[in-house]
């Protein structure tokens, strides 16, 4: 997950990525406020957040509390990303063909995020008992 978040974070610092995610941000009820930073600024904010999550997950090898925080932030990140599936127009194209629901490229891009959300949830749940023990014992 660390490599994935670093990779996603690095992409946010390119113009192509900033332009690509703009439609999702604009239509999101959760992060549309990021548009106050402008096209590049909103991508930079997300990139920095993804780098922070990667750092917390990496530090989680040494600190269960940091692992819990980083993995929870990952769950929130992918839950918001998955919400784009429902809030961005044109993600799913309905068809009367043999395929009842034809996914366009945007929908396929978002579909992988449900798997990543689940991975972060498993990491979060796995770090909770260790975090609780660490907090109680000092």
Residue 50's pLDDT is what?
A: 98
Tens-place pLDDT, residues 94-111: 555 556 555 555 667 778
For the segment 62-86, the average pLDDT, to the nearest whole number, is 93
Tens-place pLDDT, residues 9-53: 999 999 999 999 999 999 999 999 999 999 999 999 999 999 999
The total of structural domains in the chain comes to 1
Question: 45 lies in which domain range?
Answer: 2-137
How confident is residue 79, by pLDDT bands cut at 50, 70 and 90?
very high
Greater pLDDT, 111 or 137: 111
Q: Which of 42, 80, 67, 85 is nearest to 123 (CA)?
A: 67
Global pTM?
A: 0.84
């Amino acid at each position: 997950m660390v490599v994935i978040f670093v990779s996603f974070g690095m992409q946010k610092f390119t113009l192509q990525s900033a332009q690509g995610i703009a439609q999702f941000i604009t239509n999101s009820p959760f992060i549309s406020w990021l548009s106050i930073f402008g096209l590049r600024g909103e991508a930079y904010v997300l990139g920095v957040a993804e780098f922070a999550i990667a750092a917390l997950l990496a530090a989680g090898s040494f600190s269960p509390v940091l692992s819990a925080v980083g993995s929870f932030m990952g769950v929130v990140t992918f839950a918001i990303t998955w919400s784009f599936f429902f809030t961005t127009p044109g993600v799913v194209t309905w068809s009367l063909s043999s395929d009842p629901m034809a996914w366009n490229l945007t929908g396929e891009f978002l579909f992988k995020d449900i798997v990543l959300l689940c991975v972060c949830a498993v990491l979060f749940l796995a770090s909770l008992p260790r975090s609780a023990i660490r907090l109680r014992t000092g």
